[in-house]
Amino acid sequence: MAQPLLEVRDLKKYFPIRRGVFQRTVGHVRAVDGISFTVAQGETLGVVGESGCGKSTMGRTILRLLEPTAGEATFDGADLFKMSKSQMRAMRRQLQMVFQDPYASLNPRFTVMETLSAPLKIHGLYPSPKERERRVHEMLERVGLSPEHARRYPHEFSGGQRQRIGIARALMVEPRLIVLDEPVAALDVSVQSQVLNLLKDLQNEYGYSYIFVAHDLSVVRYISHRILVLYLGQMMEWAETDDLFAHPLHPYTQALLSAVPVPDPDQKRERIILQGDLPSPANPPKGCPFHTRCPVAMPVCSEQRPTWSEVRPGHFVACHLHGGPSTEGGAS
Ligand code: SF4
């Protein structure tokens, strides 16, 4: 892998739990609890896990749409978490986000022209109205829409078209890294593949880096170079996509993969059904966070948190079956 464009170290995002008339803090929801990874120029990092595993919070915290509790995030050498609000506003030109629900993320009272021109005005790009209009038309064509669509409002489009507008809005300012938060989850399967192919084409053409957050592993497999598996805000496994699918090591990854449909019935995996509910991130289990649902848990698993071990080049896992125990504090 090339030099990292983004490097995240030990990222934490805790939300306070407040109770009583004085709203005293009585605990914390540990939505993101010590996550470290890198993303290279032109790379797609897929981030997967069940809903509530902290993957969306992680993306928002890196972009400082939420303030981090602890950790570091370095983008092209710049420390994102030490930036002032105005420095961060300028930096957002290079760091954009696409949201899951394209309808909710577009202002229904704005035409497409107004929506797509807004980031250009904010960042002082294409100052003349004529230039802005040309840029909007160009971008609409690039995402598979037509310049005539610029005069319309969000309700006049299908879900897939609205997501194309959401992608166009992110690309207007020529970013380098885009966080895509479940970008195809609200779309029909046939439309999903069109949007995924569009994202791949744009990456090949412009070299964008993506953090692609999703719960659907088959979607993540299609678009990602590497995949990071999260559970209760913590890292379970991280590997190149083909390696993860061929040799999943963590029992949680194995359970997620067992639910992915395979085209060849001879290669069908036995489905692993996880017992029990996802524990609360306000009170995560001691030791390995997955031990309450792990089909192969051992006595040590409820006592000691596993180390984050590189079991072969570029393939990391946090599991006592694949590395030595450590004290609480865990993955690094
Ligand atoms: Fe299962 Fe133990 Fe590995 Fe956790 S550390 S995944 S409980 S075997």
Which backbone phi and psi does 59 adopt, to 5 degrees?
Answer: -60, -45
Q: Is residue 100 part of a domain?
A: no
Residue 256: exposed, middle, or buried by beta-carbon count in 10 A (0-12, 13-18, 19+)?
Answer: buried
CA of 288 to the centre of ligand 1 (A): 6
- Tens of pLDDT, residue by residue over 190-204, are 899 999 999 999 999
212/78 same-domain check: yes
Domain of 12?
6-94+176-185+198-322
Helix (H) or strand (E) holding 228: strand 226-231
- Tens of pLDDT, residue by residue over 101-125, are 877 889 999 999 999 999 999 999 9
Give the atom of ligand 1 at the shortest distance from the alpha carbon of 300.
Answer: 2
Strand ranges in 272-314 using DSSP code E only, listed in sequence order: 308-312
Q: Is residue 309 part of a domain?
A: yes
Q: Is residue 225 part of a domain?
A: yes
Give the atom of ligand 1 at the shortest distance from the alpha carbon of 251.
Answer: 6
CA of 52 to the centre of ligand 1 (A): 20
Token pair for residue 281? 């991130």
Q: What is the dihedral of CA 184, 186, 187, 193, to 10 degrees?
A: 20
Query: What CATH number should be reported for the domain holding residue 38?
Result: 3.40.50.300
The rounded percent of the chain whose pLDDT value lies above 70 is 95
What pLDDT was estimated at residue 79?
97
238/272 same-domain check: yes
181/298 same-domain check: yes
317/219 same-domain check: yes
State the Cα–Cα distance between residues 319 and 62, nearest whole angstrom. Answer: 26
Residue appearing with tokens 């979607």: 219
More confident residue, 29 or 270: 29
119/86 same-domain check: no
Q: Is the pTM of this model over 0.95?
A: no
Give how far Cα 110 sits from Cα of 39, 154, 284, Å.
34, 8, 43
What pLDDT was estimated at residue 268?
67
- Tens of pLDDT, residue by residue over 235-284, are 999 999 999 999 999 999 999 999 887 776 666 678 888 888 889 999 99
Please, what is the average pLDDT of the chain? 92
Q: Is residue 181 part of a domain?
A: yes
90/135 same-domain check: no
Q: Is residue 190 part of a domain?
A: no
Q: Is residue 217 part of a domain?
A: yes
48/115 same-domain check: no
Residue appearing with tokens 């299908």: 158
Q: Total structural domains in the chain?
A: 2
CA of 89 to the centre of ligand 1 (A): 42
Residue to probe by mutation, ligand 1, list 231, 272, 294, most atoms within 8 Å of CB: 294
pLDDT at 325 over 50: no
CA of 324 to the centre of ligand 1 (A): 12
Q: Is residue 310 part of a domain?
A: yes
167/203 same-domain check: no
180/158 same-domain check: no
Nearest CA to ligand 1 atom 7: 291
State the Cα–Cα distance between residues 176 and 40, nearest whole angstrom. Answer: 11
240/311 same-domain check: yes
217/233 same-domain check: yes
Q: Is residue 214 part of a domain?
A: yes
Instruction: Tell me if 21 sits within 8 A of 222, measured CB to CB.
Output: no
306/222 same-domain check: yes
Size of the chain in residues: 332
DSSP 82-107: G--HHHHHHHTTTEEEE-S-TTTTS-
Cβ of 290 less than 6 Å from ligand 1: yes
Nearest CA to ligand 1 atom 3: 319
Give how far Cα 176 sits from Cα of 75, 96, 179, Å.
10, 8, 10
Cβ of 320 less than 6 Å from ligand 1: yes
Cβ of 297 less than 6 Å from ligand 1: yes
Give the atom of ligand 1 at the shortest distance from the alpha carbon of 301.
Answer: 2
Nearest CA to ligand 1 atom 8: 297
Cβ of 239 less than 6 Å from ligand 1: no
